[in-house]
């Protein structure tokens, strides 16, 4: 019952399956103990009948008081055990599930996140786990416990009288057949409602992130109308789903309760024909009052249980996505980066095709080319943020595909155009470059990155909170914090992705000064769109449509009148800037 398919269907861990078994076991015990109360009541009525008839030995009042006391104590103990097994243990399962999801996401390659909507992933971690938690605690143990206890009671009832047992129990399988037959409709409605909910989340996120552009173009009313329409669509999908669920659940409850009527009719017929006595029919009527009780909660939640399988499949998809694995030690012979016939493809097509070049230690190697030629992809592959499709990348003679990404990245510093900062102080944002760095180390790196100039003007200096993603800082200030991180880390390999492209001339000059200190003696891979930013590079690799079309020193490539590099340089700057000996910028 609780095998591999069950585990996968509800996204349970091994401990979660074990906890479900415990919950089902104690639910069975509670349901059987509740039948003890029915038995006591039956014995009491039978005793009164004998007393009124003046026949048989009548048990004492103390006997019934003792049975009642035992029933109350046993009920209390078993209900406590059931609560602990179905609620207490499940909350630990929720904690473990969220932690394991976070760990799994941490180890997934970056390419996975490029294929998934971040709002969708957030919904999986928060909403889907919450939905499953409710099913784990309120439904699974109760439902499977009800199956088992009802089966045990059914065997006993059939021993007493198979006709009354059949009349009493036929509604249970019929009700569940109706509910399980509704799975397709429930799944369809759930998927539709979830898609509408994601559209609402995306619409809200888009409106908040682009509020300045929306206001600047006087598009507030149009965006709000679109958002209201998405909210209305989501509400309609929810109402439709609730209506369908309610129809099936209430229909199943009515069918199951029809067992009361069939039991009365069958019992009355058998009494009139003299085949049973009234007390046997009375016993069955008492049992009916309890035999449906275990299913009351389960019937209300079984639709949610069926829908939860969609949430479970989303969690399972994350668990089954291959992670980036490798050795936890990295001992390269130097830090030359060698691309050896590297190819890479997204789902929609190939991005790199047989790329080969070497970025030597102590040199600046620049990747240039038209948009979409694969420059940024090369940088991300070099740091194993993605894994190559074919070929290999070696650092110091070591294939990086064999190294654990976290271990590998300890030798990398990265400065990108889109700086990511946290809603914390300047000091702590720089300290991200090196875990456990002292304040003195942070301040030294900050000064080398020319951060002192603007930090001294902040109200609390380096202890000033900078807002979400550095909202209180300018682009140049944010970029210098990013460089300070890289300086603090002092890694032997530096990746630069158009680090100065969005800056004005003054800020670009300051950032260039900070970069010159960062790059000294390192293996540097620069991605650039503006040709003047790579004039001082030791080597240029020109990419076009995912292939290396030219390679050499800047002056050598520019001297070739038919080269792509020269055409790109001429389009952006005067020829005089490309004379031999220009070595002023990175």
Predicted confidence at residue 303, as pLDDT, reads 66
Residue with token string 């009671």? 153
Q: Six-digit token pair at 318?
A: 């994350």
Residue with token string 């600047």? 216
Helices 14-53 + 89-107 axis angle, to 10: 160
Q: How far apart are CA 225 and CA 210, in angstroms?
A: 16
Task: Walk along the chain (586 residues) in steps of 10 and give the mean pLDDT of each run.
Answer: 69 79 88 85 79 64 84 90 78 78 82 72 79 78 84 89 90 84 77 81 80 82 88 88 82 86 91 88 85 73 72 82 86 93 83 92 90 87 89 94 90 83 90 89 87 88 87 84 87 81 62 72 84 80 92 88 85 53 44
Q: Which residues contact 309 (CB under 8 A, 6 or more apart)?
A: 9, 10, 187
Distance, C-alpha 265 to centroid of its chain? 54
pTM above 0.75, yes or no: no
Q: Six-digit token pair at 330?
A: 């990295």
Q: How far apart are CA 79 and CA 73, in angstroms?
A: 10
Q: How far apart are CA 71 and CA 65, in angstroms?
A: 10
Predicted confidence at residue 297, as pLDDT, reads 66
Q: Six-digit token pair at 276?
A: 């049973």
Predicted confidence at residue 359, as pLDDT, reads 93
- What's the Rg (C-alpha) of the chain? 36
Across 22-53, b (16+ Cβ under 10 Å) vs e yields: bbbbbbbbbbbbbbebbeebbeeeebeeeeee
Please say whether the dihedral angle defined by the alpha carbons of residues 153, 155, 160 and 165, taken in this order, is positive or negative.
positive
Q: How far apart are CA 348 and CA 332, in angstroms?
A: 34
């Amino acid at each position: 019952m609780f095998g591999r398919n069950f585990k996968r269907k509800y996204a349970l861990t091994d401990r979660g399956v074990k906890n479900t078994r415990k919950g089902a076991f104690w639910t069975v015990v509670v349901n059987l103990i509740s039948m003890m109360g029915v038995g006591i009541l039956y014995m009491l009525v039978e005793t009164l009948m004998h007393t009124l008839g003046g026949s048989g030995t009548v048990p004492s009042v103390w006997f019934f008081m003792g049975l009642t006391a035992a029933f109350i104590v046993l009920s209390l103990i078993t209900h406590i055990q059931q609560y602990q097994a179905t609620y207490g243990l499940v909350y630990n399962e929720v904690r473990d599930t969220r932690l394991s999801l976070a760990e799994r996401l941490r180890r997934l390659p970056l390419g996975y996140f490029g294929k998934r909507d971040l709002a969708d992933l957030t919904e999986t971690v928060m909403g889907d786990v919450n939905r499953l938690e409710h099913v784990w605690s309120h439904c699974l143990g109760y439902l499977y416990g009800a199956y088992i206890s009802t089966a045990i009671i059914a065997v006993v009832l059939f021993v007493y009288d198979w006709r009354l047992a059949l009349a009493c129990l036929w509604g249970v399988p019929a009700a569940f057949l109706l509910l399980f037959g509704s799975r397709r409709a429930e799944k369809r409605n759930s998927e539709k409602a979830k898609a509408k909910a994601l559209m609402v989340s995306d619409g809200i996120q888009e409106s908040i992130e682009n509020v300045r552009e929306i206001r600047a173009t006087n598009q507030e009313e149009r965006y709000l109308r679109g958002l209201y329409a998405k909210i209305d669509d989501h509400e309609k999908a929810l109402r439709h789903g609730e209506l369908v669920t309610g129809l099936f659940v209430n229909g199943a409850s009515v069918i199951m309760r029809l067992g009361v009527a069939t039991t009365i009719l069958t019992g009355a017929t058998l009494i009139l024909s003299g085949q049973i006595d009234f007390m046997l029919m009375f016993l069955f009527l008492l049992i009916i009052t309890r035999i449906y009780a275990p299913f009351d909660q389960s019937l209300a939640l079984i639709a949610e249980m069926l829908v939860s399988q969609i949430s479970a499949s989303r969690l399972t998809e994350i668990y089954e996505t291959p992670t980036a694995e490798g050795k936890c030690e990295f001992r390269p012979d130097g830090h030359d980066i060698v691309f050896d016939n590297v190819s890479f493809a997204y789902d929609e097509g190939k991005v790199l095709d047989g790329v080969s070049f070497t970025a030597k230690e102590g040199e600046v190697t620049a990747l240039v080319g038209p948009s979409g030629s694969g420059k940024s992809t090369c940088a991300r592959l070099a740091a194993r943020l993605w894994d190559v499709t074919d070929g290999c990348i070696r650092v110091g003679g070591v294939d990086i595909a064999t190294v654990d990404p976290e271990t590998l990245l300890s030798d990398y510093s990265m400065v990108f155009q889109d700086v990511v900062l946290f809603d914390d102080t300047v000091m702590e944002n720089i300290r991200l470059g090196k875990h456990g760095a002292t304040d003195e180390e942070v301040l030294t790196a900050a000064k080398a990155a020319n951060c002192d100039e603007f930090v001294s003007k902040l109200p609390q200096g380096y202890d000033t909170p900078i807002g979400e993603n550095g909202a209180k800082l300018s682009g140049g200030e944010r970029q210098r914090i990013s460089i300070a991180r890289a300086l603090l880390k002092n890694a032997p390999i530096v990746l630069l992705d158009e680090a100065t492209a969005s800056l004005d001339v003054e800020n670009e000059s300051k950032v260039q000064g900070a970069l010159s200190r960062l790059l000294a003696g390192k293996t540097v891979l620069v991605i650039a769109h503006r040709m003047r930013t790579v004039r001082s590079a030791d080597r240029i690799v020109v990419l076009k449509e995912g292939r290396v079309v030219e390679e050499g020193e800047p002056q050598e490539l520019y001297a070739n009148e038919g080269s792509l590099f020269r055409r790109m340089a001429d389009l952006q700057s005067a020829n005089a800037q490309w004379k031999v000996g220009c070595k002023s910028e990175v």
